[in-house]
Amino acid sequence: MARTFALEGPPAGWRRDLLADLNEEQRAVVTAKGGPMLVVAGAGSGKTRALTYRLAWLVERGADPGRILLMTFTNRAAQDMLRRVGALLHQDIRRIWGGTFHHIGNRLLRLYGTRVGVDPAFTIIDREDSSSLMRSCVMDLGLSHEKRNFPNKNVLVAISSLARNTMSSVENIVDDRYSDFTDKLPDIQRTLEAYTEKKRESQVLDFDDLLGKWLELLEDHSDVRNMLADRFENIMVDEYQDTTAIQGRIVDCLGAKHRNICVVGDDAQAIYSFRGATFANILHFQDRYPDAVLYKLETNYRSTPEILGLANDSIGHNRHRLEKHLRAVKEVGIMPALVPCEDHNQQARFIAEYVRYLLDHGKKPSDIAVLYRSHWHSMEIQLELQRATIPFQVRGGVRFFEQAHVKDLLAYLRIIHNPHDETAWNRVLPHIQGIGERLSQRVWNAICYHDNPLKSAVRDETVNVLPKRLRADFLALAKLLNKLAGMTVPGPILAKILKERYDNYVTVTFENARQRRDDLRGMIEFAEDYDTSETFLGDVTLATEFAGETALGEENADADHAVILSTVHQAKGLEWSVVFIPWLVEGRFPVEWSKNEVDEEEEERRIFHVAVTRGEKELYLLVPRLAHRRNKGIIRLEPSVFVRELSEHVYEPLLIESGGVRRHRDSRGRGRKESGCSCEDSADGELVYDYDA
């Protein structure tokens, strides 16, 4: 006989008091009757929580889950919220429409796309597919060979995407953001038109079409608009500050009938303008909805008053922002520490040893995050954590040395170091416009039997295996590599290659050329510490070898057991007990290119704000003092403006000293002695950390 097992659900008639988990301000949001609602509140004030509970509240009061639409920044965030709602209600809420804008657009176009010429069976192409489609348009139009320096497929895709997301013309985008290509505008426009046509012919939609076609459906077809506007009784958007113009418009169309639009955001955390997001959507919400009710959440549950104090002090330097007040409910804690380091090596060592210390004193790896401005800032930190056998996970997947542009530049050095390295040749040769896999192989076949393939590369018989139009460029490359082969020190070799060869390739190839160039400069600086290419390449290879795993082995590599290394951008909405922010020097954080533009500097400050406000209990701001440059000797780095402008009372210096002592104080000046570690008050009352202990 079959045995049965009953799952214990809540007793019949059970109802959880949702409001008990909320404060007064949050309750007002959760229980509001409806109409346009704008919740603007600082980090950690429970915006996401209020939105989640409002969903539960509405369903509990009888709202039809199938008529609620929730849009968030990642699908994972939506799933987390919906799971929470399910748990609060003990009810199946799978009919709620939740996900990113793209996710929802996809669903709706499958249903109603025929109206805008979209076959319901359409395929979605990812960025990579978009790029190859764009590439074939460039080829069809014959633009690649004749026009040197014509933007590469990825740049073209980015231009197309920005134009659509910001709802502005290609001309504006090129003028504003890609001014290197202004003279190519007519050809760029032709290419983008061909691209649109090709997508239509092959019945594919790219990511931007999911929004573009969706909006077209709403704007050009009043019957569909009315039907959808009727369907969605309640619309909710989290992280509204990072929505783009087109996403803002979509929300407005969908909400046109019931006008129950609840948007939640924090202008101080708007950090995606490089992708076309605009917090104008928040700033002008009340212009578009004069009857909108503005809600404020002014209690911060995430961070200690000390961390909050520092966050507020910093963001106060931005002019473009909405004034907000936040009070912390957490108890007085440890002052944020400003940690001056000798150089980047000491910075990495401090983080690794301090993390070890925290782990020995009861923290879990998953309580800790290192948040940086640019991916390359994590290089030495990754190596150092690896050496210290601390499990870590790099959020966003690709580790620094595995990125295409990093591997590209390294490939030149590999050829110089070992001219027999076929893979390196095959990576480098296609950087010459016109050389593909086939020609690259032909060159390799011509040189590989020689004792020194690099030397034989400059010979006539090698050069002549290539079509005439490519010879001069190839010879220039071969000569440069031969010249550099006389040098052993890796830093200057890489610098020279970047300047003379690879830099131009970066411009025409990558949509985020500035960021990539910044990565490469960082790597060159990293290489400055090495005397020989051999040791440098050895360490770098080692760094890629442990990619994807951790020192403690695979089983511990998941995020629950690992210290998280992440860019600030990818840490949005999340929180950790302890946060380290390295590289707080000018040119790194804020990044170099933001210096001359007020808007860009303010966006950098918002990124810093997001980083600081991820911290719950402890915050460490690291400022390396010196950088080593082979030719120029030692250079003094300037501390970041974000550190310099802080009021002195919002942090405490933490000095690294050999044989010294460490002391933490809370903001009331109470010392917190660390048990089992060499911690005492130092004579002068400063906070000192002995990292050799």
Give residues in contact with ligand ATP (CB under 6 A).
22-23, 26, 41, 43-49, 266, 269, 301-302, 573, 575
Which does residue 302 touch among Mg ion, ligand ATP, none (CB within 5 to 8 A, set by kind)? Answer: ligand ATP
Of residues 301 and 357, the one with the C-beta less far from ligand ATP = 301
Output the DSSP codes for 342-401: SSHHHHHHHHHHHHHHHHHTT--GGGEEEEESSGGGGHHHHHHHHHTT--EEETTS--GG
How far is it, in rounded angstroms, from Cα 56 to Cα 452? Answer: 71
Output the DSSP codes for 525-569: HHHTT-S-HHHHHHHHHHHHHTTT--TT-GGG-SGGGSEEEEEGG
Query: Dihedrals φ, ψ of 541, to 5°?
Result: -65, -40
Q: How far is the CB of 72 from ligand ATP (least distance, A)?
A: 10
Which does residue 46 touch among Mg ion, ligand ATP, none (CB within 5 to 8 A, set by kind)? Answer: ligand ATP
Of residues 344 and 614, the one with the C-beta less far from ligand ATP = 614
Q: How far is the CB of 241 from Mg ion (least distance, A)?
A: 11
Q: How far is the CB of 692 from Mg ion (least distance, A)?
A: 40
Q: How far is the CB of 264 from Mg ion (least distance, A)?
A: 8
Which does residue 26 touch among Mg ion, ligand ATP, none (CB within 5 to 8 A, set by kind)? Answer: ligand ATP
Residue 13 region by backbone torsions, left for phi larger than 0, else alpha for psi between -120 and 50, else beta? left
Output the DSSP codes for 83-119: HHHHHHHTS--TTSEEE-HHHHHHHHHHHHGGGGT--
Of residues 53 and 536, the one with the C-beta less far from ligand ATP = 53
Query: Dihedrals φ, ψ of 487, to 5°?
Result: -100, 150
| Site residues, Mg ion (CB under 5 A) | 47-48, 573
Output the DSSP codes for 131-157: HHHHHHHHHHTTHHHHSTTPPPHHHHH
Of residues 321 and 501, the one with the C-beta less far from ligand ATP = 321
**144 contacts 436 by C-beta, under 8 angstroms:** no
Q: How far is the CB of 54 from ligand ATP (least distance, A)?
A: 12
Of residues 279 and 350, the one with the C-beta less far from ligand ATP = 279
Q: How far is the CB of 486 from ligand ATP (least distance, A)?
A: 53
Of residues 47 and 625, the one with the C-beta less far from Mg ion = 47
Q: How far is the CB of 47 from ligand ATP (least distance, A)?
A: 3
Work out whether the CA dihedral 73, 74, 76, 79 comes out positive or negative. Answer: positive
How far is it, in rounded angstroms, from Cα 24 to Cα 50? Answer: 11
Q: Closest residue to Mg ion, Cβ-based?
A: 48
Q: Residue 100: name the closest of 228, 264, 237 by CA.
A: 237
Q: How far is the CB of 578 from ligand ATP (least distance, A)?
A: 15
Which does residue 44 touch among ligand ATP, Mg ion, none (CB within 5 to 8 A, set by kind)? Answer: ligand ATP
User: 179 is written with which tokens?
Assistant: 């001014």
Which does residue 22 touch among ligand ATP, Mg ion, none (CB within 5 to 8 A, set by kind)? Answer: ligand ATP
**How far is CA 376 from its chain centroid?**
12
Which does residue 586 touch among Mg ion, ligand ATP, none (CB within 5 to 8 A, set by kind)? Answer: none
Report how far apart, in Å, the C-alpha atoms of 589 and of each of 13, 372, 572, 601 are: 55, 8, 17, 10
Q: Print the SS3 string covering 657-670.
A: CCCCCCCEEECCCC
Q: Closest residue to ligand ATP, Cβ-based?
A: 46
Residues contacting residue 185 through CB under 8 Å, at least 6 positions apart = 170, 171, 174
Of residues 47 and 135, the one with the C-beta less far from Mg ion = 47
Size (the chain), residues: 693
Which does residue 45 touch among ligand ATP, Mg ion, none (CB within 5 to 8 A, set by kind)? Answer: ligand ATP
Work out whether the CA dihedral 175, 177, 179, 185 comes out positive or negative. Answer: negative
How far is it, in rounded angstroms, from Cα 650 to Cα 305? Answer: 10
Of residues 41 and 89, the one with the C-beta less far from ligand ATP = 41
Q: How far is the CB of 48 from ligand ATP (least distance, A)?
A: 3
Of residues 26 and 462, the one with the C-beta less far from ligand ATP = 26
Of residues 106 and 241, the one with the C-beta less far from Mg ion = 241
- Whose tokens are 């990812």? That residue is 126
How far is it, in rounded angstroms, from Cα 302 to Cα 314? Answer: 18
Which does residue 309 touch among Mg ion, ligand ATP, none (CB within 5 to 8 A, set by kind)? Answer: none
Q: How far is the CB of 360 from ligand ATP (least distance, A)?
A: 26
How far is it, in rounded angstroms, from Cα 524 to Cα 674? Answer: 39
Q: How far is the CB of 51 from Mg ion (least distance, A)?
A: 8
Of residues 276 and 573, the one with the C-beta less far from Mg ion = 573
**400 contacts 379 by C-beta, under 8 angstroms:** yes
How far is it, in rounded angstroms, from Cα 591 to Cα 373? Answer: 8
- Whose tokens are 């104008």? That residue is 280
Of residues 329 and 448, the one with the C-beta less far from ligand ATP = 329
Q: How far is the CB of 165 from ligand ATP (least distance, A)?
A: 22
DSSP 236: E
Of residues 81 and 89, the one with the C-beta less far from ligand ATP = 81
